[in-house]
Amino acid sequence: MKNLYNKGKRDKNEAEIREYLAARNIHNTQLMPGAGADLIVAIHPMEYWEVKDPAQPPSKRKLTDDERELLTYCTATHIPYVVIETVEDAARRIDSFFERL
């Protein structure tokens, strides 16, 4: 199964963001390429996170068709779908979760 998740292109900063989540003891699951997001983050409510690399030009950071489709579904069903570019973005999102507790 490990190879399944390594197929396709992963943003270079995704590993750094997952390391941050692990350091905060936040469970997350890496999704297969084409799933419409990169991660499911196990907070309440669970969130889809799409990781984009800020080092890439804006044209490379646009949502793909699969990502836009999942975003549309999430918007309609009130499931959080978040675009994360940096560890700081992730920290702000996780900090806001803990502030809601």
Q: Could you read off the pLDDT of 35-75 as tens digits, one per residue?
A: 999 999 999 999 999 999 999 999 999 999 999 999 999 99
Whether 2 has a pLDDT exceeding 50, the answer reads no
Whether 1 has a pLDDT exceeding 70, the answer reads no
Q: Which CATH fold would you assign to the domain 2-100?
A: Trna Endonuclease; Chain: A, domain 1 (3.40.1350)
**Locate tokens 């973005």: which residue?**
89
DSSP character string of the chain: -HHHHHSS---TTHHHHHHHHHHTT--EEEPPTTSSSSEEE-SSS-EEEEE--TTS-GGGSSPPHHHHHHHHHHHHHT--EEEE-SHHHHHHHHHHHHHH-
CA dihedral sign of residues 10, 15, 17, 22? positive
- pLDDT, position 9: 79
Whole-structure pTM value:
0.86
Domains of the chain, by residue range, sit at: 2-100
